[in-house]
A and B are shown apart, each in its own frame.
Chain A
Amino acid sequence: MHEKQALGGRLLTKPFWVLLGLAMIAGLLLIKRFLFGIGAVTNLSDGYPWGIWIVYDVLIGTALGCGGYSIALLVYIFNKGEYHPLVRSALMTSAFGYTLAGVSIFIDIGRYWQMYNVFLPWHINVNSIMFEVAACIGAYVFVLWIEFSPTFLEHRKSLETKRKLNKFLFFFIALGVLLPTMHQSSLGSLMIIAGEKLSPMWQTGWLPLLFLMTAITMGYAVVIFESLFSAVALKRPLDETPILGKLSVMMIPLLVLFLLLRFGDLIWRGQLGNIFNDGMLGAFFLVENILFLIPIIMLASAKNRTKPTTLFWSAGSMILAGALYRFDTFLVAFNPGVGYHYFPSASEILITVGIISIEIMAYLIFVKKLPVLPAIKHS
């Protein structure tokens, strides 16, 4: 049992007010969206029916929310208890990431009042990858809050309830690993049906495995990044560096496997030459893969893994790599045909910014009021 404590301190700081302002701008734009339709606030078109709300808020947002999944996989399934101190804050970020992805889906879909059809047996289509993704993400949001609930129970001193919950928690922990394994791979499978509309450099039957591998590595990277960033931002000691260094090793074999599969598949399908043929897409491909390569190189030596700055930048590069891979697969390399273009509108971006602001505000409220972060050791 590792001691956790609420940080305490003033909540309504200057950055908090800025975040609140951004969230309110997004709120006003959302009123416009619901009164006048999706076209009133977005640049979406018949060719590009999905924009940043889906690609950033859902695809990248849930991958950034894979910290809870990646750490739970280590701690509970591979029995690496030493990472237990990271579980709680990772689960919290995951719960935020996934909940807000759910909110984004609600905002993005046109006939939101019928959203529950995805869960009605007489409506569901088991051939649809979207059904698998929607049902799994819906279930996982629920599982995440149950996994995180001991924190609330501790805060409210409901220790008897917590003890009872602990008896069943293993069931939710198992589901909490199964569901992301399923939907993070399916998020990749979503694009297989786009067929020829997706560039052959990204279109492959291996999409589900490639997406799953990057989701897990992004999960580790987010835990490292967030831990170091919040330590500096909230002026806490960098106590967790050694364990983060150990954790960073997990990314290396996964990333090496990812790149082997990515390039092996391209060579097998005879598509590698396209990197040099297609100017803009080739450039995106190269940047994407260099970003994947950076953490492998930076984290290769054990000495580097003890330095917080190296850990920070390699985790940052990993997050960017996974994010760009998703952006490329769903938007940059997606070409519906002549005449269609997409770049998000200001309103579209501001709504996404507002959602990110809500996420950061919730993080600040939670770490200040609830026992999430490890207690500071006074020596």
Chain B
Amino acid sequence: MNLERRDFLKVLSTGALTAGNVTSVFAGIRKTLSADAVGILYDGTICIGCKACEAACKQYNDMPPESANLEKARGVDGIWDESYDLSEKTLNKIKLYEHGDASTRNSEENGFAFVKKACMHCVDPDCVSACPVTALTKNSTTGIVEYDKDACIGCRYCMVACPYNVPKFEYAEAIPEINKCEMCNHRQVEGDIPACCEFCPTGASLFGKVTDLLEEARKRIKLVAGSTYEYPMRSLDEGDVSPKTVAPYINYIYGEKEGGGTQYLLLSAVPFTKLGLPELSATSSASKSEGIQHGIYKGMIAPIALLGGLLYGAYQTTKNSEG
């Protein structure tokens, strides 16, 4: 047994694989918002829970209503939409928070509040990093996370990766696709805004550039509760406003920092954890996983060096043998 060779290989195989590992675990924030990135500011305090956004979303994205139980009970078809949460047929969803006797709007105690769920269009999306075949991509201008079914293999790693459980898979289809909100990309290219913002009667869903929306959100959380504020409607650029009484905002913009930031921002008067939104670190999981992976495989040096050592070892041991 050749001791030197053994040691060399041991160092090579274990050292190369672990060295990169440790140094680059905490990769930090590495992706920033594009200047033209668009987003949605959802202000739960002025949402009335009418679900006009849900109906508009279904209409403009050709999504069927989900109505199994209620309709079965009534013996009708295609009348109601009663999805419980986001699903492969429901790309945005208004959910209700209730506590105690639910008498006070926008109150954590004995109150109720609304929250809208949809794709967050992360600045550094985990789903995009996870997808092995580039079926999920982040548009370099708008920042919209887009899906291409012709690339997708249906491995569902994006669903494992997404901290908000947004990508949904058509389990009931023989030819399934992943469905998620693409911020009405097809409407935006025609100069329209996302359907949920267009048809929101209160301005709770507001479309705009993410930088402008962030500014608007920062302004709102500083407002005095009970005062009157002119809430912009539909799109920040439109200039249409509607005066409303200001609710006691939580001094936090959900989405400003979560997982490296998102282009879908939320405001609320009820703590975000109560609304079912996850508490996330300020960096994306993708930055950690890519940090480790690229640390190990940097320039393919470690694998190539390891292969070189292995080739040498295997050649030496087999050259005189009959197999």
List A residues at the B interface (Cβ < 8 Å).
1, 34-40, 42, 44-47, 49-50, 75-81, 105, 108-112, 114-115, 117-118, 120, 123-125, 127-132, 134, 150, 162, 166, 169-171, 173-175, 177-178, 181-182, 185-186, 189-197, 205-206, 208-209, 212, 334, 336-340
Give complex CA distance A287, B156 in Å. 30
B190 beta carbon closer than 8 Å to chain A? no
**Chain A residues in 8 Å Cβ range of B290:** 127
A123 near B318 (CB under 8 angstroms)?
no
B315 near A170 (CB under 8 angstroms)?
yes
Among B165, B278, B280, B285, the residue within 8 A (CB) of A192 is B285
Which stretch (B145-153, B197-205, B206-214, B230-238) binds chain A? B145-153
| B:144-190 near A, CB below 8 Å | 149-157, 159-161, 163, 165, 168-177
**Chain B residues in 8 Å Cβ range of A79:** 1-2, 5-6, 313, 316-317
B321 near A1 (CB under 8 angstroms)?
yes
A109 near B154 (CB under 8 angstroms)?
yes
Chain B interface size band reads 35 or more
B317 near A195 (CB under 8 angstroms)?
no
Among B85, B132, B165, the residue within 8 A (CB) of A130 is B132
Among A38, A49, A170, A209, the residue within 8 A (CB) of B311 is A170
Give complex CA distance A212, B16 in Å. 13
Known: A79-B313, A118-B132. A193 touches B160 (CB 8 A): yes
B323 beta carbon closer than 8 Å to chain A? yes
Among B2, B22, B155, B163, the residue within 8 A (CB) of A195 is B163
Give complex CA distance A340, B85 in Å. 12
B170 near A110 (CB under 8 angstroms)?
yes
B286 beta carbon closer than 8 Å to chain A? yes
Which stretch (B66-74, B96-104, B123-131, B243-251) binds chain A? B123-131
A174 near B313 (CB under 8 angstroms)?
yes
**Chain B residues in 8 Å Cβ range of A108:** 155
Known: A37-B173, A134-B132, A337-B165. A75 touches B17 (CB 8 A): no
Give complex CA distance A130, B134 in Å. 11
Min CB gap A151→B, angstroms? 10
B159 near A46 (CB under 8 angstroms)?
yes
B157 near A114 (CB under 8 angstroms)?
no
Which stretch (B38-46, B219-227, B302-310) binds chain A? B302-310
Min CB gap B144→A, angstroms? 18
Among B129, B157, B289, B322, the residue within 8 A (CB) of A166 is B322
Q: Mark B271-303, 1 if CB is under 8 A from A, else 0.
A: 000001011110011101110111011000001
- Give the 5 A-B CB pairs with smallest separation, nearest first: A110-B154, A39-B171, A195-B285, A49-B156, A174-B310
Give complex CA distance A82, B160 in Å. 44
Give complex CA distance A120, B22 in Å. 31
**Chain A residues in 8 Å Cβ range of B319:** 170
B171 near A44 (CB under 8 angstroms)?
yes
Known: A170-B315, A197-B163. A189 touches B133 (CB 8 A): no
**Chain B residues in 8 Å Cβ range of A105:** 155
**Chain A residues in 8 Å Cβ range of B37:** none
A123 near B151 (CB under 8 angstroms)?
yes
B61 beta carbon closer than 8 Å to chain A? no
B293 near A129 (CB under 8 angstroms)?
yes
B314 beta carbon closer than 8 Å to chain A? yes
Min CB gap B275→A, angstroms? 12
Min CB gap B21→A, angstroms? 6
B311 near A194 (CB under 8 angstroms)?
no
For B131, B156, B278, the residue with the greatest tally of chain A CB atoms inside 10 Å of its CB is: B156
For A1, A117, A132, A340, the residue with the greatest tally of chain B CB atoms inside 10 Å of its CB is: A117
Give complex CA distance A39, B311 in Å. 45
Among B18, B165, B172, B311, the residue within 8 A (CB) of A40 is B172
B52 beta carbon closer than 8 Å to chain A? no
Known: A46-B159, A182-B303, A193-B161. A115 touches B153 (CB 8 A): yes
B241 beta carbon closer than 8 Å to chain A? no
B286 near A193 (CB under 8 angstroms)?
yes
Give complex CA distance A193, B151 in Å. 21
Give complex CA distance A46, B155 in Å. 13
24 of the cross-chain contacts (CB-CB < 8 Å) are: A46-B87, A75-B317, A76-B313, A76-B317, A76-B318, A80-B1, A109-B154, A110-B154, A110-B156, A114-B133, A124-B134, A125-B131, A127-B286, A130-B130, A130-B132, A132-B293, A134-B155, A166-B322, A171-B314, A193-B160, A193-B288, A194-B160, A209-B18, A339-B85
Closest to A78 in B: B6
Among A81, A208, A337, the residue within 8 A (CB) of B278 is A337
Among B170, B259, B278, the residue within 8 A (CB) of A37 is B170
B25 beta carbon closer than 8 Å to chain A? yes
**Chain A residues in 8 Å Cβ range of B133:** 114, 117-118, 120, 123-125, 131
Closest to A38 in B: B171
B13 beta carbon closer than 8 Å to chain A? yes
**Chain B residues in 8 Å Cβ range of A336:** 165
A205 near B132 (CB under 8 angstroms)?
no
Give complex CA distance A171, B156 in Å. 34
**Chain B residues in 8 Å Cβ range of A209:** 17-18, 21
Among B174, B314, B321, the residue within 8 A (CB) of A35 is B174
**Chain B residues in 8 Å Cβ range of A193:** 126, 129-130, 160-161, 285-286, 288-289
B9 beta carbon closer than 8 Å to chain A? yes
Min CB gap A120→B, angstroms? 8
B313 near A114 (CB under 8 angstroms)?
no
**Chain A residues in 8 Å Cβ range of B322:** 1, 166
Min CB gap A180→B, angstroms? 11
Give complex CA distance A348, B171 in Å. 14
Among A118, A130, A181, A337, the residue within 8 A (CB) of B13 is A181
**Chain B residues in 8 Å Cβ range of A123:** 133-134, 151
Among B21, B85, B314, the residue within 8 A (CB) of A77 is B314
